[in-house]
Amino acid sequence: MTRYQWKSEYGWFLLFAACTVSFSLVQDVIRPQYTGENSTVIYFLGVLPNFYPAIGLPAFFMILLPYFASKKSGLAWLHGKKHITAMMISAGGLTAWELQQQFTPNGVFDWHDVLWTLICTGCFYLSYLSTCSNSENG
């Protein structure tokens, strides 16, 4: 593992950690205590729990996927495009989670959550493009 790859893993982990803390803060502290009537704030407090995982989970998979992408496992193709694989796993899982909520007793399905999951997956891609060079994929 090169020095740049080591620093890159720290960066992806830092992004994952920041998104995890932000998700918990919004979900457990800010949303329950907000008593205002501003519809814009209410809307964003509703979609932020989809925003943070859609950015944080691909960052986590950027760290995890290279450990599965060995030549022995037959999954070496994962290493070259791990950002795409990480985004597909994350967006697919989060969208499936949102879709299954319409079949659970207390679940609340919202198309806006699905939309923001996809938008924020695109934000992760932009962060990938801005931080990773062409010579190194992650």
pLDDT along the chain (138 residues), means of 10: 62 94 95 92 92 94 79 62 89 93 87 93 91 56
Task: Say what the pLDDT of residue 8 is.
Answer: 78
Residue 21 included in any domain: yes
Q: CA torsion 125→28→101→96, rounded to 10°?
A: 20
Residue 110 included in any domain: yes
Domain enclosing residue 123, as ranges: 3-131
Instruction: Please give the tally of structural domains in the chain.
Output: 1
Task: Say what the pLDDT of residue 135 is.
Answer: 44
Q: Would you mind telling me the total number of residues written for the chain in this entry? A: 138
Residue 84 included in any domain: yes
Task: Say what the pLDDT of residue 70 is.
Answer: 63
Residue 121 included in any domain: yes
Q: Give pTM, 2 decimals.
A: 0.81
User: Rounded to an integer, what distance in angstroms lies between the CA atom of residue 71 and that of residue 50?
Assistant: 34
Measured in whole angstroms, the distance separating CA 94 from the mean position of its chain's CA atoms is: 9
Residue 124 included in any domain: yes
